Amino acid sequence: MADRFAPGDAVRTSTADPAWHTRLPRYARGAVGRVVEVAGHHPLADDRARGLPGTTRAVYHVRFAAADLFGDGDHAVTVELWEDYLEPADPRGGTP
Amino acid sequence: MSGEHHGSSAISERVRHVEALLEARGLVDEGEIDRRIDEFLAGGSPANGARITARAWVDPGFRDRLLADANAAIREVGLSMAGGLQEQRLKVVANSAEEHNVVVCTLCSCYPIALLGPSPAWYKSEAYRSRVVRDPRGVLAEFGLELPATTRISVWDASAESRYMVVPRRPEGTEGASEEELAGLVTRKGLIGTAAV
């Protein structure tokens, strides 16, 4: 399956609060960032933690402006996120 | 998320119990887990990260290859991220006057053991993990690293499968130093991004 996103794409992270283990950190939920690079393909951590087979998905480095995560701050935070956590975002929206 | 789970005796007790069950049921041999951990840790030391850094300082071509594909580049100096059950992806980022990089794992304590050895206690502390993403400039100042306001800070959260290493800036006045001497200047904190070299 082709990767859904490419470097430069603006993406918005999920706001879901799953009952199981996930590797979308809480501070990065519902935020708009930009894909920096594809960081390989791995089984979704959420599936593996529940004993499910876990299909292999693209994982991305996604860079966020601190202000878009926390409301202030002049630094950037790059988080590594599975494709499943991401939706396309309006590139004119608040991106780093 | 418990900040002290690595040192908790209740957890240690539970781990020993699970280990005993695995052995009793013949799923692992006696001592196999310890052997696997020893193999994983074998050779893991900040001296490896220091060697990579020194090579990157003296060889711009190596530096470029390292930043583009770290797993391939570190094989040039005889190192590898393949010591565990599967090769881990390595991402190396380089500091400059314009940008300073610092690494954290906010969800647990992911760390490039093969290149840096076992992680320091502070790296696993809830304080570091929760605060450095929110206020890196303040946290770095507490480590004694005061960065100019013009230096951008980039925090890398090892939240999935990659491991990260920082190439610190080469200290001034080291033009005549050998690669080995340069490696001797590099510290573990420098490779995580919580100190300059």
pLDDT for res B10: 87
Q: What is the ipTM of this complex?
A: 0.93
| Total domain count, chain A | 1
Nearest C-alpha in A relative to B152: A75
- Residue B143 in this model has a pLDDT that exceeds 90: yes
**Does residue A82 fall inside a structural domain?**
yes
Which residue range forms the structural domain that includes residue B146?
Answer: 44-192
Q: Do B91 and B131 belong to one domain?
A: yes
Give CA–CA dist B40/B48, Å, rounded.
Answer: 14
The CATH number given to whatever domain includes residue A52 is: 2.30.30.50
Task: Say if residue B35 is in the same domain as residue B94.
Answer: no
Are residue B23 and residue B55 in the same domain, yes or no?
no
| pLDDT (0 to 100) of residue A91 | 58
Same domain, B29 and B54: no
Say whether residue B136 is in contact with chain A using an 8 A CB cutoff: yes
Query: What's the rounded mean pLDDT across residues B5-28?
Result: 85
| Residue B33 shares a structural domain with residue B94 | no
Query: Is the Cβ–Cβ distance between B117 and B45 less than 8 Å?
Result: yes
Interface of A with B (CB under 8 A): 23-25, 27-28, 39-40, 42, 45, 59, 61, 63, 66, 69-70, 73-82
Closest residue on chain B to A70 (Cα)? B134
Known catalytic residues of B? Answer: 105, 108-110
pLDDT of residue B83: 79
Which position has the higher pLDDT, A94 or B125? Answer: B125
What does pTM read for this prediction?
Answer: 0.89
Residues B19 and B104 in one domain: no
Yes or no: say if A32 and A68 are a contact pair by the CB < 8 Å rule.
Answer: yes
Do B60 and B95 belong together in one domain?
yes
Same domain for B58 and B23: no
Residue B2 lies in a domain: no
CA atoms within 13 A on the CB side of B112: 31
Answer whether residue B87 shows pLDDT above 80. Answer: yes
Q: What pLDDT was estimated at residue B31?
A: 85
- Interface residue B85 vs chain A (CB under 8 A): no
| Lowest-pLDDT choice from A17-26, A86-95, B69-78, B105-114 | A86-95
B195 touches chain A (CB under 8 A): no
Whether residue B87 sits in one domain with residue B27 = no
Structural domain includes residue B197: no
Collect all residues of chain A within an 8 Å Cβ-Cβ radius of residue B95. none
Domain-located, residue A15: yes
Which residues in chain B have Cβ-Cβ distances shorter than 8 Å to A23? Answer: 107, 159-160
Query: A49 in a domain, yes or no?
Result: yes
Task: Establish if A93 belongs to a structural domain.
Answer: no
Establish if A1 belongs to a structural domain: no
Alpha helix ranges (H) inside chain B: 9-24, 32-41, 46-58, 60-68, 70-75, 113-116, 121-124, 126-131, 136-142, 179-183, 188-192
Q: How far apart are CA B152 and CA B111, in angstroms?
A: 23
Number of domains in chain B: 2
Strands (E), chain A: 10-13, 32-43, 56-65, 76-82, 86-88
